[in-house]
Amino acid sequence: MVEDKPSVYKVVVFFMALLFSVGLFVWMLTPFLTTLILSLILVGLCHPFYRKLVEVCDGRSWMASSLICLAIFLGLFVPLVFLITSLSVEVAEFYGYLRRELTLDSLNQLISAHSDKVTYLTDLLERLGIDYNLTNLQNDIIRLSKEAGLWVYNWTRVLAGQIMTFSFHFVLLIIFVYFLLIDGLKVKEYLLALSPLPRKQEELLLCKINDMTLAMVVGNGMAAIVQGVLGGVGLAFFNIKSPILWGTVMAIFAFIPFIGISVVFIPIGAYMLLIGETGRGIAFLASFGVLSLIVEYLVKPKLVGDRVKIHILLIFISIFGGLATFGLLGIIFGPLITIAFLSMVEIYHQTYGKRLL
């Protein structure tokens, strides 16, 4: 007996109920959506090691997954808590130093000690047609430095105050990773079965996203950590205040092509040259310039390889757009969204473009 086709009314009601239930489900997951996405990224990165551990553990997937989760805890949570705690202390000390030392009298003394350089700078600005009063410069330096210090201080206080929230989400992340490693393939097949795209297009999209994840997290991430750690050590060696703070800033900016850690070491080196520490300033700029060149043009290409080929302009847009939209995690989310968009455009050109022209 052939079943009657459902009426249009029943189909419409069903899909309305389906969309409503999907919306409620996504809304329910919203507080944990970032944690879930991060866990999916970690599962994608750790899955090859998980498969090898399953073989080592005689097929006991729970043991292999537990070992991966323990490695994530020791490799991510412990260093991050230490970093946040150290940052809160250093930023408080740095803000106090700015309030004590950066005054109008101290700037006047600095200007008096280097009056020849100030005169040269003033003449240069006049030749360029820029009318700027030196008194305004002093006030602007003090105001901007203290405002920047206060902003970083408040941000770090908020970050340190959210340790409990961070710990809760990290526990959730570990739970997500544990079960997704064990049942990840089943979840993947289930989600792909729900997708209306052909299997070939789904695999292409997943492959592109996986390549971008490897490039951003493994390639750029490891390169950023190396530059941040070595940069912090170098700053401590040159006796620069708050090396952990500025090393962290270096690690964050290391994700941005061509800018990188220069946003920190060039102003510091220029200040050394300005106050007359020529030898120290040249040695500082040279050492950090070599570090940047080695990581950017030798280490990073080896780690990233040819996995992802994106125009430099799109990388800038994706990173800064991601930062503006998602905060610090936008460094990862922005490029992932961009590669998903580019993959869908590529699928369109391969499958539908010629047909529609």
Structure confidence at residue 170 as a pLDDT band (50, 70, 90): confident
Q: Answer yes or no: do 168 and 200 share one domain.
A: no
Q: Answer yes or no: do 171 and 315 share one domain.
A: no
The domain tally of the chain equals: 2
Highest mean pLDDT among 130-134, 170-174, 190-194 belongs to 170-174
Q: Residue 251: inside a domain, yes or no?
A: yes
3-class SS letters over the chain = CCCCCCCHHHHHHHHHHHHHHHHHHHHHHHHHHHHHHHHHHHHHHHHHHHHHHHHHCCCCHHHHHHHHHHHHHHHHHHHHHHHHHHHHHHHHHHHHHHHHHCCHHHHHHHHHHCHHHHHHHHHHHHHCCCCCCHHHHHHHHHHHHHHHHHHHHHHHHHHHHCHHHHHHHHHHHHHHHHHHHHHHHHHHHHHHHHCCCCHHHHHHHHHHHHHHHHHHHHHHHHHHHHHHHHHHHHHHHCCCCCHHHHHHHHHHHCCCCCCCCHHHHHHHHHHHHHCCCHHHHHHHHHHHHHHHHHHHHHHHHHHHCCCCCCCHHHHHHHHHHHHHHHHHHHHHHHHHHHHHHHHHHHHHHHHHHHHHC
Task: Work out the mean pLDDT of the chain and round it to a whole number.
Answer: 77
Question: For residue range 229-256, what is the model confidence (pLDDT) as tens digits?
Answer: 888 888 888 888 778 878 888 888 887 7
Average pLDDT over residues 286-299: 83
Where a domain ends, among 134, 161, 194?
Answer: 194
For the cut 60, the answer to whether the pLDDT of residue 3 exceeds it is: no
Q: Answer yes or no: do 312 and 332 share one domain.
A: yes
Residue-level pLDDT at 175: 92
Q: Residue 138: inside a domain, yes or no?
A: no
Q: Answer yes or no: do 330 and 280 share one domain.
A: yes
Residue-level pLDDT at 67: 92
Q: Answer yes or no: do 156 and 44 share one domain.
A: yes
Structure confidence at residue 174 as a pLDDT band (50, 70, 90): very high
Q: Answer yes or no: do 168 and 307 share one domain.
A: no
Share of the chain above pLDDT 70, in %: 74
pTM: 0.69
Structure confidence at residue 90 as a pLDDT band (50, 70, 90): confident
Q: Residue 162: inside a domain, yes or no?
A: yes
Q: Answer yes or no: do 184 and 201 share one domain.
A: no
Question: For residue range 326-349, what is the model confidence (pLDDT) as tens digits?
Answer: 877 787 788 888 877 887 887 777
Domain that holds residue 65: 34-102+143-194
**Regarding predicted confidence, which is higher, 166 or 283?**
283
Structure confidence at residue 87 as a pLDDT band (50, 70, 90): confident
Structure confidence at residue 109 as a pLDDT band (50, 70, 90): low
